[in-house]
């Protein structure tokens, strides 16, 4: 089944489903193996970050996979401490060295840093101009952060990656991003293992109609609202299952039921409460 892609506002294609890699393995070897199995089962979109401290084994797995570099979409992210220290170019160069894959497809500001939203974006624009990042974007930015940046941006952010799943639906943010040609990406699209999302009866019942698991239903729901999803799994079978969502369609009634699970509940930190 061919992976669906969507176009970023600068003409670059991004696969709708990618692999999240935060805490995907305890050791570099675990991380390496998880990425190799993901690439083997068909992932062509890998999401990492400087914070995850796994750029080295991820880069190695990509290089040794035998898959042409240009066939794999790779994202990494700028950590807030480097913003605080005014060391954005140095942070980018470090990620490039650790990954050692020539370029990144997408470089994201990991979290908003108070008072530095626009100055950080200026640094990101310089990185984009260097052509070592094919696209630049944001992560964990709320509406008010986006508005502040968009007022001043010379280059539009391509992406905003936030925690998003049926417990935190964020319709306003999704609509705002769509109106501004920004693609939303969902991290922890399965609600992480901290929330009992996948035990929800509604998801089980919908899944039964299509022969799909609750996880596959949730991932499909993301894709159908135009949201790119990056579920994490280190397990080959679950990695493959999470990719197997492009052969069924939810009905409007299914979508409404899934939306009804919304309780504005995040498993991770609220972007206004991050301590940078």
Q: What are the catalytic residues?
A: 52
Residue among 80 and 189 whose Cβ is closer to ligand A2P: 189
Residue among 24 and 117 whose Cβ is closer to ligand A2P: 24
Residue among 121 and 167 whose Cβ is closer to ligand A2P: 167
User: Which of residues 32, 222, 233, 257 is near ligand A2P by CB under 6 A?
Assistant: 233
Residue 46 is a binding residue for ligand A2P (CB under 6 A): no
Residues 154-213 that bind ligand A2P (CB under 6 A): 188, 190, 192-193, 198, 213
Residue among 22 and 103 whose Cβ is closer to ligand A2P: 22
**How far apart, in whole angstroms, are the C-alpha atoms of residue 185 and residue 164?**
8
Residues 6-35 that bind ligand A2P (CB under 6 A): 20, 22
Give Cα 13 to chain centroid, integer Å. Answer: 14
User: Which of residues 120, 139, 158, 234 is near ligand A2P by CB under 6 A?
Assistant: 234
For the chain, the distance separating the N- and C-terminal CA atoms, rounded to the nearest angstrom, is 42
User: Which of residues 235, 251, 256, 260 is near ligand A2P by CB under 6 A?
Assistant: 235
Residue among 25 and 255 whose Cβ is closer to ligand A2P: 25
| Angle CA 247–248–249, to nearest 5 | 140
Q: Could you tell me which stretch among 63-71, 78-86, 137-145, 236-244 binds ligand A2P (CB under 6 A)?
A: 236-244
Neighbours of 151 (CB within 10 A): 8
Q: Could you tell me which stretch among 44-52, 89-97, 113-121, 235-243 binds ligand A2P (CB under 6 A)?
A: 235-243
Angle between helices 201-210 and 214-224 (to 10 degrees): 80
Q: How far is the CB of 213 from ligand A2P (least distance, A)?
A: 6
Residue 242 is a binding residue for ligand A2P (CB under 6 A): yes
CB 55 within 8 A of CB 95: yes
**How far apart, in whole angstroms, are the C-alpha atoms of residue 244 and residue 222?**
14
Q: How far is the CB of 234 from ligand A2P (least distance, A)?
A: 4
Tell which residue, 77, 48, 72, has the closest CA to residue 62: 72
CB 186 within 8 A of CB 222: yes
User: Which of residues 94, 132, 236, 238 is near ligand A2P by CB under 6 A?
Assistant: 238
Among the residues of the chain, which ranges form H helices?
28-41, 55-64, 80-84, 88-99, 117-129, 143-152, 171-179, 201-210, 214-224, 236-243, 252-259
Total residues at interface with ligand A2P (CB under 6 A): 17
**How far apart, in whole angstroms, are the C-alpha atoms of residue 102 and residue 242?**
28
Strand 183-187 relative to strand 159-163, pairing: parallel
83: exposed, middle or buried (C-beta count within 10 Å: 0-12, 13-18, 19+)?
buried
Neighbours of 264 (CB within 10 A): 8
Site string for ligand A2P, 119-158 (x = CB under 6 A): ----------------------------------------
Q: Which residues bind ligand A2P (CB under 6 A)?
A: 20, 22, 188, 190, 192-193, 198, 213, 215, 231-235, 238, 241-242
């Amino acid at each position: 089944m061919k992976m669906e892609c969507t176009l970023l506002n600068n003409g670059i294609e991004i696969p709708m489903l990618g692999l999240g890699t935060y805490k995907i393995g305890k050791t570099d070897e675990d991380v390496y193996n998880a990425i190799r199995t993901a690439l083997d089962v068909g992932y062509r979109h890998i999401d990492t970050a400087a914070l995850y401290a796994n750029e080295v084994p991820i880069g190695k797995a990509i290089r040794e996979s035998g898959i042409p570099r240009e066939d794999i979409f790779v994202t990494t992210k700028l950590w807030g401490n480097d913003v605080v220290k005014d060391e954005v170019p140095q942070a980018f160069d470090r990620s490039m060295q650790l990954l050692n894959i020539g370029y990144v497809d997408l470089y994201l500001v990991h979290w908003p840093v108070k008072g530095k939203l626009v100055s950080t974006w200026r640094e990101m624009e310089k990185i984009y101009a260097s052509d070592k990042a094919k696209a630049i974007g944001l992560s964990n930015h709320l509406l008010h952060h986006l508005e502040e940046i968009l007022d001043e941006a010379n280059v539009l952010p391509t992406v905003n990656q936030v925690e998003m799943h049926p417990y935190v639906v964020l319709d306003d943010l999704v609509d705002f991003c769509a109106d501004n040609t920004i693609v939303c990406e969902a991290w922890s699209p399965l609600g992480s293992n901290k929330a009992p999302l996948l035990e929800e009866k509604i998801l089980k019942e919908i899944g039964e109609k299509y022969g799909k698991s609750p996880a596959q239903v949730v991932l499909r729901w993301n894709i159908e609202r135009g949201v790119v999803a990056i579920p994490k799994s280190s397990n080959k079978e679950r990695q493959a299952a999470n990719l197997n969502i492009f052969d069924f369609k939810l009905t409007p009634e299914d979508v409404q039921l899934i939306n009804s699970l919304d309780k504005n509940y995040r498993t991770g930190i609220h972007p206004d409460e991050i301590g940078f």
